Amino acid sequence: MRVSRQADYAIRVVLDLSLHPEARIKEIARRQRLSASYVGRISQRLAKTGILENKRGRLGCLGLACPPDQVTLMDVIEAVDGPVKVDRCLLAPAECGRERACPVYEVGQEVLLMATAKLSSVTFASLVNGQRAKQPTPDGPR
């Protein structure tokens, strides 16, 4: 399984908006060290799939279309990369023709199911809560 750089950046954008509920593209780009034009392209794609909403107006802000506890890593990855894949033999076993005799095929299927289950269970709220728990307090590390 491979997550593209674009999906990685999309995850960063959604995580940023989970921490900062409304933000301008330039602010997100600055915080995430990405180009504003790239954040703009990613945000358009995420808006088309219903993850972000473009809050037009005086500030032209972006925001999440639903609360961070309703958006998963899998949602964002699939919004950018399409369906999660492992290898062509798992997607189109007829191309290989060995799926019944191949011990790797069954393991690959299990790995794909475990990975997609995990990505589907991790919400951005849980990521934000985990990140906040790791941040040091003003008095020093926790």
Q: Which residue ranges make up each domain of the chain?
A: 5-134
**Residue 14: burial class (beta carbons within 10 Å; 0-12, 13-18, 19+):** buried
Topology of domain 5-134 in CATH is Arc Repressor Mutant, subunit A (1.10.10)
How sure is the predictor about 97, in pLDDT bands with cuts at 50, 70 and 90? low
Looking at residue 28, its pLDDT comes to 94
Q: What is the pTM of this model?
A: 0.77
Residue found under tokens 């909403």? 53
How sure is the predictor about 138, in pLDDT bands with cuts at 50, 70 and 90? very low
